[in-house]
Amino acid sequence: MIPDDAVERLLDSAQKIGNSCETLGIEQWEVFATQGYGHSLDFEAGKISMASGGGDGGFGLRVVEEGRYGYAHLVDPSGADRAVHEAISIARKSPAISGFELPANQETSKVGGMLDKQILNLGPEDLLEQGDIVLEKVVELDKRAIAVGGGIGIGASAGAIVTSSGIEDGGIQTSHGIGIHVSIDEDDELTSSYEGDSSRKLIKDITKSVEKAVHWSQVTRNKIPGGETSDCPVLLTSDAFSPLFSMVAPPALSGERMARNESFWSGKMGEIVIADHLSLKNDGRMEGGSSSGSRDGEGIPTQTRNLVENGRLLGENWSTRDAAKMVAEGRVDKAKSTGSASRSGHTSPPICGCSDLSLLSRNNQHSRDRLIEEMNDGYIIHSVMGAHTANPTSGDFSVTTSTILRVESGELVGALSQAGFSGNMAKALAGRVVLGNTISKKGSYTSGTMHVPDVLMFDELRVNPA
């Protein structure tokens, strides 16, 4: 799937771009390179609608001159001179940040689990076979169910970074993912659910997502009348909790946002900010982590840090630029990179963010059935719409859901057609919280990857049935 010398070629091309910088008198430069390859297929109306393959990639160039930086990107080293001129032109028109320099090289060790050779050996025929298995599983579980969307993909990407300060590193990462959108349309009632999974390693059982999608399409069919708007306990499955959590937690942990008083945890370092049995672990070195690696987006060695431990805020995330800027503006006395720079690709400069962020508890975690009993009266929400509108400064959110179940006296009594769901995530996490016993990996709206369980919260939440 990927050439054996992919990393070496990227490193060589990145160095050539760096040489162009030096020829033009640029002392501080950084070249970030990527090249991806993969195969994918799509589902539509119960069939495989399209299969495709290919690759893309390029180079991102950041130059720094007297605390000013500029960024440009290109797809081929032959365009290096143009990109260098563009980047330095932008830098010279940008405001200077006193003390901002590209980081020096530091030794680090590799993080395991990034590459699975089984994925490299898969081809289009293997993917088509997986697709047939998925579609057959949908019908096997419920003859009414149809896979109306989604797909399967495998990929391998090579990445490299070379800088004027001596950083030179690269590697290959693999991925295998499935997304499946299942609908049941019967008796003038349509219910559906989208589920997915991804991994650096080959997913052993791709039908688990199918089982979840069919299950939620089934359990939401027993509609009951909505009730009154109420402040009540809510059990958020990991699928519903993750998007809301990702909108507020990673930004709240940004050192720059804290310094600017744009985080609901600003000025609270060392204080209890969430329930005292909860911790937030930011692991940039998680084996096989989707947002982990030996170096961050600027080439600085990554770390594993408890940013919140037993409810107490202990740390914050910094990138090199943000740290220098906040010190230069006098907002903080000192700050330095915590290895928290992330990249969305070669077309944009690094930003500060989380890596693989886990929500953990020192208390006993429970099965979903036990959480339902603990809740007694309330709701289970499995998906939300509009999570991106959550306010990362206040923690407030107001979303809608069409995957919501009513619980009375610890028993499921039926599903609502739709409901509004609102509250304050920061305050809810600081109240009474009980975690489920199965951690799920989910994507993020902001940065990094979330590792969260089902979460039962009792405070600061409101459900408004449609």
Q: Which residue has the tokens 């009980």?
A: 434
Residues 309 and 438 in one domain: yes
Grade residue 466 by pLDDT with cuts at 50, 70 and 90: confident
- Contact between 256 and 352 (Cβ < 8 Å): yes
Which tokens hold the place of 432?
């009474």
> DSSP code of 366?
B
pLDDT digits (tens, 9 = 90+) for 133-147: 999 999 999 999 999
Query: Do residues 431 and 275 touch, judged by C-beta distance below 8 A?
Result: yes
Terminus-to-terminus CA distance in the chain, angstroms? 49
Domain of residue 156: give its range.
Answer: 6-134+152-175
Residue carrying the six token digits 């009414």 = 144
456 assigned to some structural domain: yes
Cβ–Cβ contacts within 10 Å for residue 129, how many? Answer: 11
Tens digit of each residue's pLDDT (9 = 90 or more) over 358-394: 999 999 999 999 999 999 999 999 999 999 999 999 9
In a domain, 261, yes or no: yes
Residue 453 phi, psi (nearest 5): -100, -175
At 1 the pLDDT is 80
The vertex-59 CA angle with 58 and 62, nearest 5°, equals 155
Residue 195 counted as domain residue:
no
169 and 239 both lie in a single domain = no
Q: Are residues 81 and 14 in the same domain?
A: yes
Per the structure, the count of domains in the chain is 2
Same domain, 104 and 251: no
For position 226, what pLDDT does the model report? 86
pLDDT digits (tens, 9 = 90+) for 395-440: 999 999 999 999 999 999 999 999 999 999 999 999 999 999 999 9
Residues 15 and 123 in one domain: yes
Residue 117 pLDDT more than 90? Answer: yes
235-268 burial: b if 16+ Cβ within 10 Å, else e: bbbbbbbbbbbbbbbbbbbbbbbbbeeebbbeee
Look at residue 35 and tell me if it is in a domain: yes
Q: What is the mean pLDDT of the chain?
A: 96
Kindly state whether residue 180 falls inside one of the protein's structural domains: no
Report the alpha-carbon distance of residue 33 to residue 352 in Å, rounded.
Answer: 19
Q: Are residues 158 and 246 in the same domain?
A: no
Do 382 and 452 sit in the same domain of this protein?
yes
Q: Is residue 14 part of a domain?
A: yes
Q: Are 251 and 158 within one domain? A: no
Show the DSSP H helices in 108-223 as ranges: 117-120, 124-141, 208-219
Q: Which is nearest to 138 in space by CA: 211, 53, 230?
A: 211
pLDDT at 59: 98
The answer as to whether 343 is a domain residue is yes
Which CATH number is 85's domain given? 3.30.2290.10
Residues 167 and 261 in one domain: no
- Local structure of residue 103 (DSSP, 8 states): P
| 341 neighbors 298 (Cβ within 8 angstroms) | yes
Same domain membership, residue 245 and residue 160: no
Same domain (yes/no): 268, 166: no
What is this structure's pTM? 0.94
Question: 112 and 32, same structural domain?
Answer: yes
Domain-located, residue 295? yes
The pLDDT of residue 445 is 86
